[in-house]
Structure 1
Amino acid sequence: MTHSYNITGMTCTGCQAKVQSLLSNIPGVTAVDIDLANSKADITMSHHVDTQTLQAVLAPYPKYALSEMHRHHAPVSAFSMDEEEDKRSFWETYKPVLLIFGYVSLVAVLISVTAGLGWMTGMRIFMSGFFLVFSFFKMLDINGFADSYSMYDIVAKKFKAWGYIYVFVELALGLAFAVGFNPLLTNVVTLVVMSISIIGVLQSVLNKRKIQCACLGAVFNLPMSTVTIIEDALMIGMSIVMLAAMR
């Protein structure tokens, strides 16, 4: 079943991620979809969770106030992410990610082709641009990113500080790929970090959890989807190819 609630006090995507994280951790809550602009939350439950329980988890944060809307939705299938599908088109939804990939790919191809550096160097330039750009957006609201990331990443769920550390790991990897620092170590770290990251993404997508993707921090409202899996898988694949080429 999915119930709707009013939630006041949310002023930014960081607030949205915080409230979403708190409510998602309540036993019985399977999905939380927050409409920040309208101060509304649709909460899907495997069994009824009373309003007092929802309010109790927000009590330590007095700025957030939850109240019933007295409107209920029909039960949803276990295979449905939410009763109301995102009305945006694929392009409208993933425009930021697609543009970033397009720009980074274009720069990598132009540099490698015009300078005659080869496709391996082009791949290294792409990976550098990927990590630098994505870490930049996370830096804009690092607290919001950490809150969002802790909702699905298997490490950040248990150790929230990993969300903050992860941003600087991405930055370090971007710089390492840019200057060609210790290719073996850089690619091994990339493979390990991205492999761990993709586990939480796969779990969320396969479980049909409708939550905000933290790949671009809390700046853009991107849903977790197969696009997120492709992002992580691409970096894993590239690191494997580069490691194989060193043999």
Structure 2
Amino acid sequence: MTHTYKLTGMTCTSCEDKVKKALELVDNITNVAVSKDKNTAIITMSKHVALADLQNALDSKYQISVIDQSETAEQTRSWFETYKPIVLIFFYISLVTILIQLTNHHFDYMQAMQHFMAGFFLVFSFFKLLNLKGFAESYMMYDVLARKIPAWGYIYAFLELGLGISYLLNFNPIFTNAVTFIVMSISIIGVLQSVLNKKKIQCACLGAVFNLPMSTVTIIEDGLMIIMSLIMILTLI
């Protein structure tokens, strides 16, 4: 597929070369043709690349934007179409959690939160581990700790897996919830900065498998884990 974009900020042939080389390094891009005179970039892709990923590959002095209908359609998808993967994941995790509680004589909200968090971390770590390198690179773009320590992105995916198993086995609840509270509190800082600064970057919550934009949905997702872990800590103390 080939898309044509408006690309501003190029003032010389050196700029054209710089932009061309930067875009050619983006995954799934097979050919790039840029023109400073027309302020355009014609990009051929083997698989669709989001506009935010193209912008992130460029120096801040260059701005790329949509001028063709196919890319416009991508940018104007409905909320549900955009966040469908997360909505379905939360639905299935909630459904399993509720079904488990239906087998009890009474609704145990502590156990329900424990099972929900186990499902959350296990599922989300699964998607991150499908493309660990891709997740770590995306995570490093906005997470405050991963920017300083690149290896943190790799560690984080396995930490989520460990937390999921710990919740499932009810391993040392106070320690498990304390780790969750600390880790998610650090994670939400970068998310808040990105959303408040209106940065158009990819959310790494589901790894590099789905192209989900950073938004208030990500804040709610992290915030929910923080609140639930805090409630469980206060209840257990």
Place the TM-score, normalised by the shorter chain, in its bin: 0.7 to 0.9
Q: Deviations over 1:165-210 (max 9, x none)?
A: 1000000000000000010110010001000110111111111111
**Structure 1: 5+ residue stretches without partners:** 1-36, 74-81
- Residue 217 of structure 2: which of 216, 227, 232 is its match? 227
User: Counterparts of 2:8 and 2:218 in 1: how far apart (Å)?
Assistant: 23
Residue 68 in structure 1 maps to residue 34 in structure 2 = yes
**Partner residue of 1:129?**
119
**Any idea what SS the aligned residue of 1:235 has?**
helix
Counterpart of 1:216 in 2: which secondary structure?
Answer: coil
Distance 1:145 1:42, change over 3 A: farther
Letter in 2 for 1:68: V
> Residue by residue, what CA displacement relative to the aligned partner does 1:36-63 show, whole Å, maximum 9, x if unpaired?
x647777787x989344445667989x9
Tell me which residue corresponds to 1:109: 98
Tell me by how many angstroms 1:66 deviates: 5.0
TM-score normalised per structure 2: 0.75
When Rg is computed on C-alpha atoms for both structures, the one with the higher figure is 2
Corresponding residue SS for 2:39: strand
Residue 96 of structure 1: which of 74, 85, 88 is its match? Answer: 85
Over aligned residue pairs, what C-alpha RMSD do you find?
3.0
Unaligned stretches of 5+ in structure 2?
42-64, 67-71
Which portions of structure 1, spanning 4 or more consecutive aligned residues, are displaced by more than 3 angstroms?
A: 37-45, 47-61, 63-67, 69-73, 82-85
Confirm or deny: 8 A CA contact 1:194 1:236 kept in the other structure.
Answer: yes
Q: How many equivalent residue pairs?
A: 202
Matches within 5 A, 1:187-226: 187-226=177-216
The offset of 1:147, in angstroms, is 1.0
Q: 1:180/1:147 Cα in 2 relative to 1: closer, same or farther (>3 Å)?
A: same
TM-score normalized by structure 1?
Answer: 0.72
SS in 2 for 1:228: helix
Distance 2:2 2:152 in 1: 31
Question: What is the SS of the residue equivalent to 2:212?
Answer: coil
More helix by proportion, 1 or 2? 2
Question: Structure 1 residues 44 and 235, CA, compared in 2 at 3 Å: closer, same or farther?
Answer: farther
